[in-house]
Chain A
């Protein structure tokens, strides 16, 4: 079946602009996760959704970052007033349930802030 998809695959933006990154999880997966992969910080957890609720937003780096999930499916990660340090690959993952179910990752969105 279809895996996790993310769009766009690449995004180049200017400093100060807002960007939206989209994630389509595997159908039927109730849990959804966002991670960030950067050269300096490695792979970092950003936020976790169970259904449409986000019980853990502890990894969001600043209040410029927000995320939502609608219909228990698609999620959008929004970065306002982008900064150069936001440049990274943003990975989305989903799992069937919360708990220690396997997380399946999408191909990521490479964000470059000029």
Chain B
């Protein structure tokens, strides 16, 4: 069985501030982990993925995430928020090779 927990359904940050979105997973086998972003009325766009290579993963738009096995975490960060980062973010895990299990999502608002 596999599952993901995203802590915080809403995060509000000031423009230029650090963005930190938390994701913890459970998996009975080594997981692959993903962060997707969803802009209003659009589908999901991949930000980055962890596939058991480097534990620090860099993605698009300045985002990165670190896989910490001891903490079963895969938190997403961006050093400096931009207005265009306002969106909903989903963490997902797969360990059975195809079925993605998603967290509940975190909505990010960016204050000017």
Chain A positions near chain B (C-beta within 8 angstroms): 4, 31, 33, 35, 42-43, 45, 48, 56, 59, 91, 93, 95, 98-100, 102-108
Q: Which of B12-20, B66-74, B90-98 contacts A (4 or more CB under 8 A)?
A: B90-98
B49 on the A face (CB < 8 A): yes
Known: A33-B98, A43-B90, A48-B99. A107 touches B49 (CB 8 A): no
User: Given that A42-B105, A43-B90 are known contacts, is A100 also in contact with B51, CB under 8 Å in the complex?
Assistant: yes
In the complex, are the beta carbons of B46 and A45 less than 8 A apart?
Answer: no
How distant is A55 from chain B, measured CB to nearest CB, in Å?
Answer: 8
Given A4-B43, A104-B46, does the pair A99, B90 have CB atoms closer than 8 Å?
no
Q: How would you classify the secondary structure of chain A's contact residues: helix, strand, loop or mixed?
A: strand
**Judging by beta carbons under 8 Å apart, are A108 and B43 in contact?**
yes
**How far apart are A112's CB and chain B's nearest CB, in angstroms?**
14
Q: Return chain B residues, CB-CB under 8 Å to A4.
A: 43
Interface set of B (CB-CB < 8 Å, partner A)? 32, 34, 36, 41-46, 49, 51, 90, 92, 94, 97-105
Instruction: Known pairs A100-B32, A103-B100; list 7 more (Cβ under 8 Å).
Output: A42-B103, A43-B92, A56-B98, A56-B99, A99-B97, A100-B94, A100-B97
Separation of A45 and B42 alpha carbons in the complex (Å): 18
The CA of A104 and the CA of B43, in the complex, are separated in Å by 9
- Are A106 and B49 closer than 8 Å at their CB atoms? no
Residues of chain A contacted by B103 (CB below 8 angstroms): 42
Q: Whole-angstrom distance from the CB of B55 to the nearest CB of chain A?
A: 16
Interchain nearest-CB distance for B60 vs A (Å): 12
**Residue from the list B43, B51, B99 in contact with A107, Cβ < 8 A:** B43
CB nearest to A9 among chain B residues: B41
Chain B proximity of A25: nearest CB distance (Å): 13
Bound state CA distance, A89 and B44, in angstroms?
A: 12
For the complex, give the distance between the alpha carbons of A91 and B51 in Å: 24
The 10 closest A-B pairs by CB, nearest first: A43-B102, A105-B43, A105-B44, A100-B32, A107-B43, A99-B97, A45-B99, A42-B104, A48-B98, A106-B43
Q: How far apart are A100's CB and chain B's nearest CB, in angstroms?
A: 4
